[in-house]
Amino acid sequence: MAKHAQSVSMKKWLASREREKAIAHAMEAYTAKLQKPETDWKPLKTICQEAAEEWREKGISVTVSTDTVQRCLTGGRSHTEFNAEKNTWLAPEEEKKVVEYYLALAKRGFLLNHKQLKFHVNSLLQAWLGDNYPEGGVGKNW
């Protein structure tokens, strides 16, 4: 299969995923640090810089913010998690059900195109949300 250039949105999504991985790595390093004696502790800023340096060695430019890591350590959500909850029509369980339905139809030989799948999702959401569901449906890039 031939490679093709990635879209700008795909590049941003991939960069965001790598940033989330680096933040998770910094959080693990920080919690592991707490298991050591106090004399071996490193400041959070140093741990974040080391995490960013590890990703740079892999060839990926990532910034790991100490504020972000601190917020996540105290139970906060990342921007990705927040946006995933805020900007979705379906809950994760509902998404799984839609995918299972699509795969069940595909096994039987009924492949749905985007328009047909969108129709089914719109029907489900209309039934669940009633009058709160917008007329235009889920939109173009749902």
Model pLDDT, residue 142: 67
3-state secondary structure 80-100: HHHHHHHCCCCCHHHHHHHHH
Model pLDDT, residue 126: 84
Identify the CA nearest to 30 among candidates 66, 80, 54, 75: 66
What's the CA angle centered on 48, arms 62 and 67, to 5 degrees?
A: 95
33-84 pLDDT, tens digit per residue, is: 888 887 777 888 888 888 888 888 888 888 888 888 888 888 888 777 777 7
Please state the pTM of the whole predicted model. 0.59
90-120 pLDDT, tens digit per residue, is: 777 878 888 898 889 889 998 888 888 888 8
Query: Are 51 and 29 in contact, with CB atoms under 8 Å apart?
Result: yes
Diameter of the chain measured on Cα atoms: 64
Model pLDDT, residue 137: 76
**Is the pLDDT score of 2 beyond 70?**
no
Q: What is the identity of the amino acid at 127?
A: A
Give the Cα separation of 48 and 22 in Å (integer). 8
